Amino acid sequence: MRVLVTGANGMLGRRVVEAFSAAHEVIATARCSGDGVEALDVTDHAAVGSVLRRVRPDVVVNCAAYTDVDGAESDGDAAYRLNTLAPGHLAWACRDVEAALFHIGTDYVFDGEKGRAYDEWDTPRPLSAYGRSKLGGERAVVESGARFWIGRVQWLYDDRTPNFATRILDLSRRHPMLRVVDDQIGCPTHARHAAEQVQRIVESGRYGLYHMSSRGETSWWGFTRALLDAEGREDYLVEKVTTDAFPRPATRPRNSALRNRALELTIGDDMPSWEAGVEEFTRRRQEMNW
Ligand SMILES: NC(=O)c1ccc[n+]([C@@H]2O[C@H](COP(=O)([O-])OP(=O)(O)OC[C@H]3O[C@@H](n4cnc5c(N)ncnc54)[C@H](OP(=O)(O)O)[C@@H]3O)[C@@H](O)[C@H]2O)c1
């Protein structure tokens, strides 16, 4: 299979390139070219069409996105350009060259009021500009008539690129204690596990909407505690606080844990637990002496 990946320098994009490279021909693209990566600005409608006509991929995996959740509140145009219009450009171009599109979605399309995990048939109601722009992107893909998958992920982290997990551990080395929010619930998902799930779903050939979260759920506090405990730092103090302690421009859902119901009902849900992700993250950082 020839697979074109957009946003290939991002946290998930790098892992998707890696996952597919073992068994498929991969064309990695990013906003700027360099180091095995071809330039493709996904907001450039003409460029998207011409690159897809030249490359003729079987599958496009769209990992490019505007991911600054708070920034989207003041720069809505940038968020809609990248998260709503660009998936539309990709989907239309995929339809023209008979490629299928795998688009990455988010748990932030939900309002977090359900009280238990959301499945693919729950109705989205985003609370933020970021969530609305990502929901708009899903709709653009569905309405294009292209063959598609949408894979919603949440609370992604990795041992390589900067993210919540790496930042919180860095902070813990510079401060005697941390205060972390305990009233937002979700499921931390290692980017490698999400990327491998993208590949598995693509190879299944079963199109549609999928949740691709690790199993289980916790709060940001619970995730922080697990990261520190895994490093043997059980004595390090992490105080539980509520969301009001850190006012932010964008409203986050209180409980946006995802249930991978479409996977359960089709090819099976083999996503590992979030605790297994933390173990892998810690082992890898120890191996690399980080
Ligand atoms: N991280 C999470 O916790 C999380 C949670 C739920 C859903 N998601 C979704 O998962 C997907 C991947 O997120 P991520 O965490 O890997 O984000 P990321 O690390 O911020 O990667 C996004 C990538 O998109 C690229 N990009 C930005 N503008 C572009 C453009 N015009 N053309 C091409 N590429 C462009 C960025 O490149 P530059 O660095 O050059 O800007 C960056 O490499 C996104 O769809 C996101 O909405 C993420």
> Can you tell me the mean pLDDT for 249-272?
98
Q: Is the pLDDT of residue 289 over 90?
A: no
Q: What is the pLDDT of residue 103?
A: 98
Collapse the DSSP code of 65 into the 3-class scheme (helix H, G, I; strand E, B; otherwise coil) and give the result.
coil
Within 8 A by CB and 6+ apart from 7, the residues are 13, 29, 30, 31, 42, 62, 63, 64, 65
188 Cα to the center of ligand 1, angstroms:
17
CATH code linked to domain 2-158+190-214: 3.40.50.720
94 Cα to the center of ligand 1, angstroms:
20
Structural tokens at position 168: 């919180």
Within 8 A by CB and 6+ apart from 50, the residues are none
Q: Is the pLDDT of residue 117 over 90?
A: yes
Domain ranges (residues) in the chain: 2-158+190-214
> Can you tell me the mean pLDDT for 251-276?
98
pLDDT digits (tens, 9 = 90+) for 160-199: 889 999 999 999 999 999 999 999 999 999 999 999 999 9
In the predicted model, what is the mean pLDDT of the chain?
97
For a pocket test of ligand 1, which of 9, 18, 60, 67 has the largest count of ligand atoms closer than 8 A to its C-beta? 67
> Can you tell me the mean pLDDT for 93-110?
98
For a pocket test of ligand 1, which of 4, 6, 11, 192 has the largest count of ligand atoms closer than 8 A to its C-beta? 11
The atom number, within ligand 1, closest to the CA of 44 reads 31
pLDDT digits (tens, 9 = 90+) for 27-75: 999 999 998 999 999 999 999 999 999 999 999 999 999 999 999 999 9
In this structure, which residue's CA is closest to atom 24 in ligand 1?
64
Q: State which H helix or E strand residue 103 sits in.
A: strand 100-106
Q: Is the CB of 154 under 6 A from ligand 1?
A: yes
Q: Is the pLDDT of residue 123 over 80?
A: yes
The atom number, within ligand 1, closest to the CA of 103 reads 45
DSSP assigned state of 245: G
Q: Is the CB of 42 under 6 A from ligand 1?
A: yes
Q: Is the pLDDT of residue 128 over 80?
A: yes
Q: Is the CB of 41 under 6 A from ligand 1?
A: yes
Q: What is the pLDDT of residue 235?
A: 97
Which residues participate in catalysis according to the annotation?
A: 130
Q: What is the pLDDT of residue 290?
A: 75
Q: Is the CB of 3 under 6 A from ligand 1?
A: no
pTM of the model: 0.97
Q: How far apart are CA 189 and CA 197, in angstroms?
A: 11
Closest CA to 184 of 159, 135, 158, 217: 217
pLDDT digits (tens, 9 = 90+) for 219-241: 999 999 999 999 999 999 999 99
Q: Is the CB of 64 under 6 A from ligand 1?
A: yes
How many residues does the structure list for the chain? 290
CA 170 to chain centre: 22
9 Cα to the center of ligand 1, angstroms:
8
Q: How far apart are CA 79 and CA 173, in angstroms?
A: 34
Q: 22: burial class by Cβ within 10 Å (0-12, 13-18, 19+)?
A: exposed
236 Cα to the center of ligand 1, angstroms:
32
